[in-house]
Chains A and B, each alone.
Chain A
Amino acid sequence: MKKSVIFGALTVAGLAAGAAAAGTLDDVKARGKLNCGVTTGLVGFAAPDANGEWKGFDVAVCRAVAAAVLGDASAVEFVPTTGKTRFTALASGEIDMLARNTTWTFSRDVDLKFDFVGVNYYDGQGFMVPKDLGVSSAKDLDGATVCIQTGTTTELNLADFFRANNINYEPVPIETNAEAQQQYLAGACDVFTTDASGLAATRATFEDPAGHTLLPEIISKEPLGPLVRHGDNEWGDVVRWTLNALITAEELGVSSANVGEMASNTNNPEIARLLGTEGTLGEMLGLDADWAKRAIETQGNYGEIFAKNIGEDTPIGLARGLNAQWTDGGLLYSPPFR
């Protein structure tokens, strides 16, 4: 029984051997489904609801790529990965792209041989403490017990911060976010540290969110973004420019509500090029002309995605902050569609 699976897999591999060199874009089109690596469960970024449907900020990016490439935002296979398994899953080809609030760092880009195709959330590492601890700054945390999730940049940043400030701490390494929460709520550690967006998402699920404060210090730069493998520039371009399309759509005022109207009659040539009514941008990517239009139509522009999943009206309640458009003083700046 298992042998037939082996031989079936080898057959498919053999038949597709010629196509193996052709790149991820063709693989995805041939498969008809996008394999997208996400986190195992972080509310607001990627979490399955009770019906098993995935929702979240990173999920929306994956669905936008699927809509752009395959025409169907639901043709996505979400592969939950832990901090440990995410990079090997991407390197081995199990997933086509990783949208798992992963920080863009030198070693991941260079040493682990990945390509970060953009930043979809500018974040930083912060600390969360219970209010009744009476701590108002991270520098007062000498001797504290800190819960961290292993396999992330968090523990390295933590070690650097405490060393630079000459204070000590006791790390408690935890495998999953859910267990870290349990330890923190039970008082087994004083402080919970992860990216500030993750802290907000976690706090939203607590029984008493107001009893926990986020300390003001942001001790690292965490530009979170989707990533693909080295050596496949075509596919990287597709993912990069899909993300840029979402950002540009917000900048230019295109939303899921008015994208149809904008496509048919607009005066702004950049919007026309973005939505495919002018120019051959889609063809250059190897996609059809409506690629960006489908992405925006199904998922909304960046602002809509942000507001729906992690915005101020959601329990997570994150302000745009650094993630506003450059015209509003934030860091989101997409290269022009020309």
Chain B
Amino acid sequence: MSDTHAQSVAFVRDTAIPPSPAPSNAAGPIKWMRDNLFATWANALLTVASLYVIFLVLSATLPWIFGGLWTTSSLAECREVLQGRSAACFSVLTDRWNQLLFGFKYPVDLYWRPTVAFVLLFVAGAPVLFFDLPRKLLIVTALYPFIAYYLIWGGTIWTPLFALAGFGVGYYVYSMLVHRSFAIGFFGGIAAAIVAWIVGSFLAGALASETPFLEAVPSRDMGGFMLNMMLGVTCVSLSLPIGIALALGRQSSMPLIKVVCVVFIEFIRGVPLITLLFVANVMLAYFFPPGSGVDLFLRVVIMITMFSSAYIAEVIRGGLAALPKGQYEAADSLGLDYPQAMRLIILPQALKISIPGIVNIAVGLFKDTTLVSVISMFDLVGMIRGPILASTDWNGVYWELLGFAALLFFVVCYGISQYSQWLERRLATDHR
């Protein structure tokens, strides 16, 4: 039995195989480098090439940056001090930092006002961005537009007060009428607010004192990075409600509303922002009543708000489409009418889904505010290409200024996109 098998099997091991060496459980930098940087020949080549590129770039820019001069008063003086070496002339930043940040016409002794408004922006934005904070802080958010307007533009205090009063009157009328029907409440509130504003503007004109507490600064004097931030914050916050309305209108069952919304959205999304800014610059003034000079800042805000509301409408439309149809049906079966269903069930979920898209659009819009330099508004890029480079002292300084502008934008936009990623992680955990 075993004999026959023993003769027919080709090979039978009779000694044990020696033990193999244990698998490497090494950890540490060398192993990490071998795995991540030098795993294969191709990888090793890529690593060497990347290191070489990094070395080239750093060796060109670091000495230039660290050898920079901060205290000369003109480019010619920089060149004198450098005697032909290549180094940055950062003195343009120390000399003109205030013009870069605030524009060259904003009165210097009033810089504290936009700075306070900027600090308050964080306080006002915090309860909206971080929803762990107490909800009472939302009062600051609601009051912030009026406070910021008053701080930055100055002038009579009655204007922001009457504007606030208009909102208050509108909300009061809305709450009185809404139990009849949402539509009556909504339109009644708007009508009451409009009446309150018209009355208030006349009263403000009458009550305005000759020497207001905060000196008035016309919009034309705004400039620099402050202008970019103002345009970005104003247009994004104004375009959110308009974008929601457009998105709801686009998927409405009323054909007229739907057609109007579709035409508006597709038209605005089809043209570049520069053409809309041209419209703001040359055409929009013709559409206002003859003799009323609406200032350029307001016209630009109108066009940029229209632009971003169309994009936000598309993002929210995507969010609305991502909702399961069951939500609409459940709202109907609970007996909720359209405004209640939207307000209580649909919109909260849709907005939560669309938040990353909305933040993307906000970042894109903030970057696009640099385009106002093309219509000769002196924002950060406009200041660099215009007055600063044209002045005798600083004619020819490019890298330092452009690098500073790039750095400012990078800090803000990267911050916003990091917030958006944090937010996505937070929101995703809710859905588990």
**Contact surface of A with B, Cβ cutoff 8 Å:** 1-13, 15-17, 20, 40-43, 47-50, 52, 77, 79-82, 84-85, 88, 92-94, 175-179, 181-182, 185, 204-207, 315
Please tell me if the beta carbons of B298 and A5 are within 8 angstroms of each other in the complex: yes
CB nearest neighbor in B for A82: B376
What are 24 A-B interface contacts by the 8 Å CB criterion?
A: A2-B234, A3-B163, A4-B204, A5-B153, A7-B200, A8-B159, A9-B292, A9-B295, A9-B298, A11-B202, A12-B205, A15-B205, A41-B387, A41-B391, A47-B391, A79-B220, A81-B376, A92-B285, A175-B374, A178-B385, A181-B396, A182-B396, A185-B396, A205-B392
Please tell me if the beta carbons of B387 and A48 are within 8 angstroms of each other in the complex: yes
Cα distance A77–B153 in the bound complex, in angstroms: 17
Q: Give the residues in chain B near A81, CB-CB below 8 Å.
A: 376
CB nearest neighbor in A for B295: A9
Q: Give the residues in chain B near A13, CB-CB below 8 Å.
A: 289, 291-293
Please tell me if the beta carbons of A4 and B295 are within 8 angstroms of each other in the complex: no
Task: State the Cβ distance, B327 to closest chain A Cβ, in Å.
Answer: 34
B162 within 8 A of A: yes
Q: Give the residues in chain B near A6, CB-CB below 8 Å.
A: 294, 298
Task: State the Cβ distance, B277 to closest chain A Cβ, in Å.
Answer: 11
Please tell me if the beta carbons of A85 and B396 are within 8 angstroms of each other in the complex: no
Task: State the Cβ distance, A100 to closest chain B Cβ, in Å.
Answer: 12
Task: State the Cβ distance, B205 to closest chain A Cβ, in Å.
Answer: 5
Q: If A40-B390, A178-B395 touch, does A4 touch B201 (CB 8 Å cutoff)?
A: yes
Task: State the Cβ distance, A38 to closest chain B Cβ, in Å.
Answer: 11
CB nearest neighbor in B for A83: B376
Q: Give the residues in chain A near B76, CB-CB below 8 Å.
A: 207
Please tell me if the beta carbons of A94 and B396 are within 8 angstroms of each other in the complex: no
CB nearest neighbor in A for B145: A1
Contact with A along B109-133 (1 / 0, CB 8 A): 0000000000000000000000000
- In this complex, the member of B99, B105, B166, B202 whose beta carbon has the largest number of chain A beta carbons within 10 angstroms is B105
Q: If A1-B146, A52-B105, A185-B396 touch, does A93 touch B376 (CB 8 Å cutoff)?
A: no
Please tell me if the beta carbons of B293 and A16 are within 8 angstroms of each other in the complex: no
Cα distance A181–B153 in the bound complex, in angstroms: 36
B174 within 8 A of A: no
Q: Which of B340-368 contact A (CB under 8 A)?
A: none
Cα distance A11–B198 in the bound complex, in angstroms: 8
CB nearest neighbor in A for B297: A5
Q: Give the residues in chain B near A2, CB-CB below 8 Å.
A: 234, 238, 298, 301
Task: State the Cβ distance, B390 to closest chain A Cβ, in Å.
Answer: 3
Q: Give the residues in chain A near B159, CB-CB below 8 Å.
A: 4-5, 8
Residue from the list B95, B204, B282 in contact with A88, Cβ < 8 A: B282
B171 within 8 A of A: no
Q: Give the residues in chain B near A50, CB-CB below 8 Å.
A: 95-96, 391, 393
Q: If A17-B291, A93-B293 touch, does A7 touch B197 (CB 8 Å cutoff)?
A: yes
Please tell me if the beta carbons of A1 and B396 are within 8 angstroms of each other in the complex: no
Q: State how many residues of chain B have any CB contact under 8 Å with chain A.
A: 56
Please tell me if the beta carbons of A85 and B104 are within 8 angstroms of each other in the complex: no
CB nearest neighbor in B for A93: B293
Q: Give the residues in chain B near A7, CB-CB below 8 Å.
A: 197-198, 200-201
Residue from the list A9, A40, A48 in contact with B294, Cβ < 8 A: A9
Task: State the Cβ distance, B334 to closest chain A Cβ, in Å.
Answer: 36
Please tell me if the beta carbons of A177 and B396 are within 8 angstroms of each other in the complex: no
**Contact surface of B with A, Cβ cutoff 8 Å:** 76, 79, 95-96, 99, 104-105, 145-146, 148-149, 153, 159-160, 162-163, 166, 197-198, 200-202, 204-205, 218, 220, 234, 238, 281-282, 285, 289-296, 298, 301, 374-376, 378, 385-387, 389-393, 395-396, 398
Please tell me if the beta carbons of B105 and A8 are within 8 angstroms of each other in the complex: no
Q: Give the residues in chain A near B220, CB-CB below 8 Å.
A: 77, 79
Known contacts A9-B293, A20-B290, A52-B99; can you find 17 more A-B pairs with CB under 8 A?
A: A1-B163, A5-B295, A8-B201, A11-B205, A42-B390, A47-B390, A47-B392, A50-B393, A77-B218, A77-B220, A84-B375, A92-B285, A176-B390, A182-B389, A182-B396, A207-B76, A315-B392
Please tell me if the beta carbons of A176 and B386 are within 8 angstroms of each other in the complex: yes
Please tell me if the beta carbons of A43 and B390 are within 8 angstroms of each other in the complex: yes
Cα distance A181–B391 in the bound complex, in angstroms: 12
Please tell me if the beta carbons of A85 and B376 are within 8 angstroms of each other in the complex: yes
Please tell me if the beta carbons of A16 and B291 are within 8 angstroms of each other in the complex: yes
Q: Give the residues in chain B near A4, CB-CB below 8 Å.
A: 149, 159-160, 162-163, 166, 197, 200-201, 204
Q: Give the residues in chain B near A84, CB-CB below 8 Å.
A: 375-376
Q: Give the residues in chain A near B378, CB-CB below 8 Å.
A: 80
Please tell me if the beta carbons of B395 and A181 are within 8 angstroms of each other in the complex: yes
Please tell me if the beta carbons of A20 and B201 are within 8 angstroms of each other in the complex: no
Cα distance A6–B375 in the bound complex, in angstroms: 21
Please tell me if the beta carbons of A40 and B293 are within 8 angstroms of each other in the complex: no
Please tell me if the beta carbons of A207 and B385 are within 8 angstroms of each other in the complex: no
Q: If A40-B387, A81-B376 touch, does A205 touch B294 (CB 8 Å cutoff)?
A: no
Task: State the Cβ distance, B280 to closest chain A Cβ, in Å.
Answer: 11
Q: Give the residues in chain A near B392, CB-CB below 8 Å.
A: 43, 47, 204-205, 315
Cα distance A10–B201 in the bound complex, in angstroms: 9
Cα distance A206–B290 in the bound complex, in angstroms: 46
Q: Give the residues in chain A near B375, CB-CB below 8 Å.
A: 84-85
- In this complex, the member of B76, B200, B201, B281 whose beta carbon has the largest number of chain A beta carbons within 10 angstroms is B201
CB nearest neighbor in A for B76: A207
Q: Give the residues in chain B near A206, CB-CB below 8 Å.
A: 395
Task: State the Cβ distance, A52 to closest chain B Cβ, in Å.
Answer: 5
CB nearest neighbor in A for B221: A77
Task: State the Cβ distance, B351 to closest chain A Cβ, in Å.
Answer: 23
